[in-house]
Each structure stands twice: as structure tokens, then as C-alpha cells.
Amino acid sequence: MKYRCLILDHDDTIVDSTRNVHYPSFCEYNRLYHPELSFTLEEYVNYNFDPGVIPFFKEYCHYTDEELKIEQEFWNEYSTKHVSKAFDGIKEILDEFKRKGGIITVISHSFEHNIIKDYKYNGLPDPEVIYGWDQPMEERKPSPVPVLKIMEKYNLDKKDILILDDLKPGYTMARSAGVDFAASAWCFNIEGNRKFMKENADYYLETVESFRKILEM
């Protein structure tokens, strides 16, 4: 195999969760607490792509620090009560990768317990390590800290690792850590996101099957 370790994003990369969980939760929160706010699904995805979720909440939604905490609790509770379906073909790829000795890890902006819930629901192989929203702010994606921890834990070189993510924070994290980056583009086809990833990612993957091909299994 070309890579010994996969570092996987979760939402919209492994499971179809933004349209089914995170965006509905965001809309419901605003309906209750900020009815003056209205964002389309495409706008929500765009702002999560750049500048990222926290800057989006602070600069565009104008949530206070206290509101950020309330929104996080609301989102966590909503996510805990819902599961997301994995994209077709993902399970088979991850099963084969792990069967051949590969290391599967996750770095995500979702909570660890919700990631585990989705993996179990979809019958996906258990990740060796998960670094989610539970981590300290300074160690969350796009910080390279979780990547460096994975490298140290499994005695990996940079060339051994591939990060798969649909959003810019994942790309930024990969570049900061000096590892290869593949853009998972099978969930949303939004022009600005597509342009950036095509110009900057090591791989731009429009289908799940194209992910299998670059792993050279």
C-alpha cells in the first residue's frame, strides 16, 4: 500500500452528516435563539470551509462566547440523537485497508462519542485514535498537534500518512504537518471549495472509488 496510516475527517468525508445533522441543528438553534439569522446549506458549507466553524460563528453569526457554549451543547445533544449514513463504498475501503495492516485514525470537529456512534452504526472498522472536538482548542484541527501525536505514537514518517478531508482546515493541518492531503469532494460540489482544492490538494477525489485507487491496495 502507498500509505501506512489514514487520518480521516468525519463529517461529509466518511458520513453524510452536514445536510442531515449539523445544518438542521444549526437552523434549529437559530430558530430558537437567533431568528434574525438565515443561511442556506451552501452558505453554511462555504463558511465552514473558509474561514472555519468558529470564525463563522463569531464573525458572521456574531455569537458571544457564552452563546458559543450554548450552541455547542445544543449541537452535541442534537448530534447524539441522530446518526449519519456512511457514503457508499467507504466501509469496503476501510475494511480492506485495515485488513492489510493499515492504521485508521480520525481527526474531526465532531465529538469523539458521536464519531464512535456513527462508526458503529455503519459497521466501520474501529479507528485506532480519535482526536475530536473534545480536544483543547489549541490542539484541534487545523493545528498539526494531533497529526504529530499520531506520528509519534505509531513511529510514522511523513510519507506514511495521508489526510482525507473535505474542508480547508484539514488541508491547512496537512500542510503544517508536511503530509499528503486528499480532498474528498463526493459530498458537496461548491465552486469556491472545488477551485481551491483542485489547485492545492495533492489529490482531488470526486468519487469514493477514486479514493481506493490512490491507496494502491
CATH number at residue 115: 3.40.50.1000
37, 1, 9: which is closest to 132 by C-alpha?
Answer: 9
pLDDT tens digits along 7-47: 999 999 999 999 999 999 999 999 999 999 999 999 999 99
The per-residue pLDDT for 49 is 87
The residue with cell 483542485 is 198
Same-domain pairing of 26 and 133: no
**Which pLDDT belongs to residue 177?**
98
The reported pLDDT for the residue numbered 192 is: 83
**Same domain flag for 60 and 153:** no
Domain end call among 80, 108, 125:
80
User: Do residues 11 and 47 both lie within one domain?
Assistant: no
Same-domain status, 107 and 53: no
**Global pTM?**
0.91
* pLDDT value of position 36: 97
Number of separate domains in the chain? 2
How much is the pLDDT for 39? 97
Note the pLDDT of residue 189: 84
Regions of the chain with pLDDT less than 50: none
Determine the pLDDT at residue 190.
85
Closest by CA position to 45, among listed 205, 163, 215, 188? 188
**Same domain (yes/no): 157, 67:** no
- Spacing of C-alpha 119 from chain mean position: 13
Cβ within 8 Å of residue 202, ≥6 positions away: 180, 181, 182
Q: What is the pLDDT of residue 172?
A: 97
Q: Are residues 89 and 76 in the same domain?
A: no
Query: Both 103 and 158 in a single domain?
Result: yes
| Unique residue bearing C-alpha cell 485497508 | 97
Q: State which residues form the domain around 160.
A: 5-16+85-215
Q: What is the structure's pLDDT at 84?
A: 94
DSSP the chain: ---SEEEE--BTTTB--IIIIIHHHHHHHHHHH-TT----HHHHHHHHHTT-HHHIIIIIS---HHHHHHHHHHHHHHHHT---PBPTTHHHHHHHHHHTT-EEEEE-SS-HHHHHHHHHHTTPPPPSEEE-TTS-GGGSTTSSHHHHHHHHHTT--GGGEEEEESSHHHHHHHHHHT-EEEEE-SS---HHHHHHHHHH-SEEESSHHHHHHHHT-
**Beta strand 129-131 with 5-8: parallel, antiparallel or unpaired?**
unpaired
The backbone region for 119, taken as left when phi is positive above 0, alpha when psi lies in -120 to 50, beta otherwise, is alpha
Longest dimension (CA), the chain: 52
Domain shared by 39 and 111, yes or no? no
By residue count, the chain amounts to 217
pLDDT of residue 87: 98
